[in-house]
Structure 1
């Protein structure tokens, strides 16, 4: 694959050591909030999730021959299933469900290896891919905006001001920064938002950042692993298998969407090289690793894709560095607590920038492929994908929920195939 001259660091470019450190730390900040939020909501030690996200990312990079700059973080798709299993059967059931979900990926990857990948272009043309990528970014808009302006679900003007200062800091560093400043706008934006939060806290007397967790945390802290076959006796949990295995097909469609975004950003075709069977295998092994250590299942992260889109830095070395930092941070209690103390509106401000860029990448796919919206067929397909995906249209069957990105992807593919056949007649 030829070098992409439109970016600052292409997939296999290695930044200087000092810059490498900052760029990787920027990715760590981007994924940290979501990755630790999932285990907190479920009742699992966040440090385990941080550890498994780093280890899972390194495994994914290895399986995909270090060709895909994808970071693996805790998946939100499994939250309800995990919460239910934690109440009924405990962490052992959750871990088993995560492992089985990973095995589903491996089975699908094996099938694809034998039947080939020519079908991908037929079922995922630009008119389907573009709107799906837009949905990936825009479906997260509600979360970003909620973090930016609400405190415990209630509108808060102070939070909004902090979020806007953070957002415009990211924009300013990205647009007007020179040298290394232009390469780490997300990290610098978070720092500006954090400092501004402290100033606002000092002036108003309102608690925005609490240092209690940092003070209580020790420097060296081993995560409370729940390792399969070691920390508990193996027992088959049919409920875990039946509950979590089908969700793997939901996250699989999200996986396809993220690969589409990466294809567009890096000007490569990862469906063909290293191949969809390898990308799915990488995701599957990462999930199995998470399950083995008692962490939530993982999936590729849109937040980190957003960082790459804004900075035009696609280096796998930077992603690998972030993964190593994540593993190390899981053992350093005070540093993890410091990152965890980043205020919600700061995360919200950064997220607005990241998710908007992902959505714009979908629009770019449509423009570059000159999709004609004067054709009713194209207009209908794009409209259905966007409205169903962003609106969260959901299909519930036998306790299995398919919603948002997954359901809109299925609808888009079906409409493309059906309307295409109709036109051919």
Structure 2
């Protein structure tokens, strides 16, 4: 049988005999790194990333000074303030939520996430009005998408309302230029795209502890040797420095890719579940983005705010795993992650301390030196109660009394505001 007749009988086999050749990976590319470390399990979900992943990806963790000011000044021998004796409803609400966050006995991720949402919405109602509980994010690698590769406890997007966006600056670090300039890229619009997420350290440690499941042996007896082996594997996932967790790098990557990739349509096919679905062949218009991760340390009673600076070149490395992309200084494009600590107590000053750590592009402009005491809540309740108990007009009609009370209210609020600025309150 000739070759020509064989090709007519078996056309599919002839197509498989000449597969498309993949170009050789450049030095420093992701595929080159995988080839050089072929004996190490690197191509895994971010929950399985170790310190080696951060090192190979060129991630630089940088700890910034703690945001521990402002806070009330308590002089020795001074009497308790009104905030201690009669806390306002807002202070009580914040105290209950913060206690729930630091309560180790709760052990429920949903209750902790709800408490974090309560704190953020109480401090900044506009910026954190909408949230997503336990969202799943995709990871894109070349022409493949891996669904639900990253899960966090809570996620907030940038607001879409024009008035809210006007008070918050763009996350794009590329300076805006006139539209007439043909060389300038368009400014990235971050509306309804990931802004900040929350994940607790205790929850992350619990997931790692139970990440490797062990099947039972005959007669449902525990497989002790395999259990010990999996425990050793789980210990390898624990970072050497708890504050420099490589899992945060994967979260920042997934959040940044969500800014530029359109989520593919989910199907029930096996190829889609394994990440073999092609998202797009066209390169997205990558730009530098900046996002945050919020977590907390129960031992020190502190919030930790991580800021990830994800560059366009770093995103290009995952879009084209065979290509090498460099920074301006000639090094392989990596990621810079800054983090700072924020003491949770006292409550007074927490809004300003946490706002400085998050940044004005998240919470909007504010005065970091002027502490919010929430005394207006108590004053507002007292005014309402006083208005209800005020007797009718002594020397006039009820309508005349109402007309006189209306212009007096702004002056009363102004006096309360001036008094609040002069008196220091500690809670």
User: TM-score range, shorter-chain basis?
Assistant: under 0.3
TM-score of the two chains, using structure 1 as the length reference: 0.24
Higher relative contact order structure (alpha carbons within 8 Å, sequence separation ≥ 6)? 1
| Greater helix fraction, Structure 1 or Structure 2 | 1
| Greater strand fraction, Structure 1 or Structure 2 | 2
TM-score of the two chains, using structure 2 as the length reference: 0.24
